[in-house]
Structure 1
Amino acid sequence: MPSTNPVPVDQDSELFVEVDPTGRYGRYSDLLGAGAMKKVYRAFDQEEGIEVAWNQVKLRNFCDDPATIDRLNSEVRLLRTLKNKNIIALYSVWRDKRQNTLNFITEVCTSGNLREYRKKHKHVSLKALKKWSKQILKGLDYLHTQELSIIHRDLNCSNVFINGNIGQVKIGDFGLAATVAKNQSAHSILGTPEFMAPELYEEDYTELIDIYSYGMCVLEMVTLELPYSECDTVAKIYKKVTSGLRPQAMDKVRDPEVKAFIEKCLGQPRARPSAADLLKDSFFDDIDDDDNDDGVNDNDQAP
C-alpha cells in the first residue's frame, strides 16, 4: 500500500506526501494542474532521478458515475500502448484501495501546457510556431495511423505540453480519446466547444476532427486568442461552427501563408488533409526536424 506519511531518505531530503507501492515514485504536495476528473502533482522518480507527474483521481467522487470511471480506465489502458516522442509517456499505474484513488505516473513537461507557455512568451517567431505545430502533427499522425485509429477528440492548447528549454511538444490528456477501425466513424459528442469540428456535433466523424481542432490550436498559437472568444455561450459557438462561420480571430492572422494553412485544417471533412498530408505541406519547408531550439526571441513577432 502507498504510504501517506512523509518518507525521508535522510535528514536533508525533501519530504514526500506519499509514495507508490514499489517505493520508486514519491509525490510532493505541489499541484501542477487540476481538471474535472483528476489532480496532477509534481513527483520524483527515485530510480531514474527525474521529475515526473503524479496523476491522481479520487474515485469516491465518481462512485455514482460508472461512465467516468470507464473513461479513466480507458485513458490508462490507451496510454500504456503509446510510444512516441510527441505523446506523453505513461510509466506506472495502480489503484490505492484504502484511499480509493486511481494513480498513474506520467512524463512531465517542465514548462506546462502550450496555452500558458504561449501567453508567457508573447514574442515568438513564426519559425518557432511552425516547429511546435509540426510536432503536434507528428503526434497526431502516430495516433491516427495505429491499427485501430486513435482519435483524441479534445485536442486544444491546454492538452498539449512543452519542454520549453528544448522546444519539445507533446500531446497529453487522453481522457476523451476513442479508437475506431479504419474507414469507420465514431458517434459521441465530446470535446471543448471552441475546438470541435462541425461534423462532431452530427455524431458521425473520423480522426479528421482532430485536424480541425489542430487548426484551431494553430490559430490560438498565432493570435494568442481563444477561438470564438466573441461568443459568450456554447449555443452561440455551436451556431457559428455548424454554419461554417470562422472565429473572429482569423481576421487577426496577417500572414497569408499561415491563414491558408489554418483554412486547410478547418475545411470540410472530405477536403480536410490527414496529418501525414499536412506534414508534407510547403508550410513546413523551412523547418528542420532536428532543429529543436524553442525559438523564443524577443525581437521576433508572431504573424
Structure 2
Amino acid sequence: MDPVEAEEQQTEPPDEDDEEEGFVEKDPTGRFIRYDEVVGFGAVKIVYKAFDKLEGVEVAWSQSQINDSVMGCSTKMEQLNTEIQLLRTLRHKNIVKLFASWVDEDKGIVNIVTEYFTSGSLRQYRKKHKKVDMKAMRRWAVQILTGLEYLHSQNPTIIHRDLKCDNVFINGNHGKVKIGDFGLATFMQQQKTQSIKGTLEFMAPELYTGNYNELVDIYAFGMCMLEMVTCEYPYSECQGMGHIFKNVSQGKKPAALNKVKDVEVRSFIESCLAPASERLPANELLKSSFLKKDEPLSASPFSVSLVEIEDVTTDGDRYDSFVFRKGEFLLKGHMEVTNPVVLSLRFPDPYGGFKTAEFPLDVAKDTGLSVAMEMAEQFELPQGSIEIITELIGAFLLVVIQYWRRSCVSMP
C-alpha cells in the first residue's frame, strides 16, 4: 500500500500505550515518530531519522524554520500551506515520495516526512565511489531529467530552484535516483518570478535578475553533471561568494569544466549551461544522442541473434547449449530434455557493469512475458528490459521445442 494512501485511510491515531520508546516527537496523526538522530541538514533545515509505524519502515523527517515575514502575514501563510499540499500530490518514480507535511505555527516550523535513502545524496555517493563508469552516470542523468520533465509539465509549472547533487538521492542497491528537497520550489503562476533563492554555484545567471523560468533547473542539472563527472564542486577555485557571483554574472564557466576530456560529455554539459535563450528543456535533452547510447534498455533496435552453440556433456549425455543476444542482454540455455529448463541471463547493471542470474523456466506453464516481468521486478530492471527478455526467451523456446521434437521426446 502506498504510504500516502495509507495515511488517508487511517482515521484514528494508534494507541499511545504502544508508542515506541526513544522518540522525541510525533506527527498530528500519531503515525510518524521522530528520533533525535540527525541524518542531514541544510542552510535552513535539519533532517532527522523517523519511523512510519503503519508501514513499519524508516522515513526522513525534515524541519525548516519559517521566515518571520511569512509568519506575520496570513496571506503568505495560506500560500505556504497551499504549496505544501500541492507538493504532496506529486507522484513520479524519480521524485522523492512525500508522505506527510504540516506547519507548526506555534514553533514557526514546516515539517515534511519523506522517503529515507540509506545511501544518502548523489554527492555523498559519488564521493564514496570514485570509480563510476560514464554509462552509470548517463543513467543517473536520464532519471534526473525525467523527474525534471515531470515537474516542468505540471500546471502550474514547478521549478525546483535548488537542484544539486546534495538534493538528488540514490538507492545504492540498484542505482535509482530521485529528486528531493523542495524547500525552495516555486509554482510558476506567471511567466516571470521575482524571488532570488538557491545555491550560488548552481544558480543560472538569469536567477540573479529575478526574471527566469523552469530552464534554471536545466542549468543546475548541468552543474550536477559536471560534479558527477569530475567529483569537484563547481567554482571550487573561487575565493568566496563574491568571486563566484562575478564569474557567473560574466558567463565564466567553472574551472572543473576544463577537466572533462571527453568531447561528447563536455558538449552535453555545455549545452545545459548555455544562455537561457539557447538552453533546451528536459524533454529535448532526453532525446540527445549522448543519453541515447544505452537505448537498448528503452526501445532496442536490435533483433535477437544466435551467437554461440556449445557441445555440453553431463553424466555421459551430450547435448547442445545455445546463447542468444539482444543488445547487451545474453540468454544461455541447455537443450537437455528436462522441465523446468534452467536459463542464465546476463544483463547490464546500473553501475556500467553486468550481472548474471539463473532462473527456471517451466516450458509447460511459463510464458516469456511472465518470467520477464518477474525478473524485472526482482532485479529492478528498467521497463524496456521486459520486452528484451521476453523476446530472448521466445527465441529460446522456438529452438528448444524444435530440438526436443527432433529428439523424439514427448514434452513433460
Q: TM-score range, shorter-chain basis?
A: 0.7 to 0.9
1:17 lines up with 2:24 in the alignment: yes
The answer to whether 1:258 aligns with 2:314 is no
- Counterpart in 1 of 2:278? 271
Provide the rounded CA distance (Å) in 2 between the counterparts of 1:172 and 1:73: 18
Contact 1:121/1:296, CA 8 A, preserved across alignment: no
Report which stretch shifted further, 193-202 or 92-101: 92-101
User: In the aligned structure 2, how far is the partner of 1:166 from the partner of 1:43?
Assistant: 23
2:145 counterpart SS class: helix
Q: Distance in 1 between matches of 2:137 and 2:72?
A: 37
Q: CA deviation at 1:96?
A: 4.9
Counterpart in the other structure of 1:211: 218
- State the partner residue of 1:66: 71
Question: Which residue, out of 152, 161, 165, partners 1:144?
Answer: 152
**Are 1:286 and 2:293 an aligned pair?**
yes
Say if 2:122 is the partner of 1:117.
Answer: no
The match for 2:91 is 83
Instruction: Say whether 1:129 aligns with 2:132.
Output: no
The 2-side partners of 1:292 and 1:147 are apart by 36
Query: Of the candidates 347, 351, 354, which is equivalent to residue 295 of structure 1?
Result: 351
Greater CA drift, 115-124 or 235-244 = 235-244
What is the aligned partner in structure 2 of residue 104 from structure 1?
A: 112
Change (3 A) 1:295 1:74: farther
**Which range moved further: 98-107 or 50-59?**
98-107
Residue 204 of structure 2 is aligned to residue 197 of structure 1 = yes
Change beyond 3 A, Cα 1:180–1:258: same
Provide the rounded CA distance (Å) in 1 between the counterparts of 2:197 and 2:68.
21
Cα separation, 2, equivalents of 1:101 and 1:33: 17
Q: What residue in structure 2 maps to residue 301 of structure 1?
A: none
Inter-partner Cα distance in structure 2 for 1:218 and 1:194: 13
**Structure-2 change in CA distance of 1:204 and 1:25 (3 Å):** same
Point out the more displaced range, 140-149 or 64-73. Answer: 64-73
Q: Matches of 1:101 and 1:154 in 2, distance apart?
A: 20
TM-score by length of 2: 0.64
Report SS of the residue matched to 2:197: coil
1:221 pairs with 2:263: no
Whether contact under 8 Å (2:71, 2:108) holds in the other structure is: no
Q: How far, CA to CA, are the matches of 2:151 and 2:107 in structure 1? A: 34
Other-structure match for 2:183: 175
Structure 2: segments with no counterpart, 5+ residues: 1-15, 300-346, 354-412
Residue 187 in structure 1 maps to residue 243 in structure 2 = no
- Kindly provide the CA deviation profile for residues 51-77 of structure 1, in whole angstroms up to 9, marking residues without a partner as x: 111122456xx5566389858646523
The verdict on how the C-alpha distance between 1:75 and 1:106 changes in structure 2, with shifts beyond 3 A counting, is: farther
SS of 1:55's partner is: strand
Superposed displacement of residue 202, structure 1:
2.1
Q: For 2:251 and 2:72, how far apart are their aligned partners in 1?
A: 32
Q: Which amino acid aligns with 2:218?
A: I
* Cα distance in 2 for residues equivalent to 1:67 and 1:271: 41
SS at match of 1:105: strand
For residues 296 and 8 of structure 1, the distance between their equivalents in structure 2, rounded to whole angstroms, comes to 50
Residues of 2 paired with 1:191 and 1:96: CA distance? 24
Give the match's secondary structure for 1:285. Answer: helix
Are the structure 2 counterparts of residues 272 and 97 from structure 1 closer, same or farther at C-alpha, using a change threshold of 3 Å? closer
SS of the equivalent of 2:173 reads coil
Number of aligned pairs? 286
- The 1:181/1:289 distance shift into structure 2, 3 A limit, reads farther
1:41 aligned partner: 48
User: Structure 2 vs 1, CA of residues 109 and 292 (structure 1 numbering), >3 Å: closer, same or farther?
Assistant: farther
Structure 1 residues 231 and 29: alpha-carbon distance in aligned structure 2, compared to 1, 3 A threshold: same
- With over 3 angstroms needed to count, the CA separation of the structure-2 counterparts of 1:67 and 1:81, relative to structure 1, is farther
Aligned AA for 2:266?
K
Provide the residue aligned with 2:326 in structure 1. none
Matched, 1:165 2:221: no
- Could you tell which deviates more after superposition, 27-36 or 246-255? 27-36
Shift of 1:152: 1.0
Q: Distance in 1 between matches of 2:173 and 2:348?
A: 9
Superposition deviation, residue 235 in structure 1: 1.7
What TM-score comes out, normalization by structure 1 length? 0.85
Higher strand share: 2
Contact between 1:140 and 1:275, CA under 8 Å: does it hold in 2?
Answer: yes
Structure with larger Rg: 2
Counterpart-to-counterpart distance in 1, 2:269 and 2:72: 35
Shift of residue 15, structure 1, vs aligned partner: 3.3
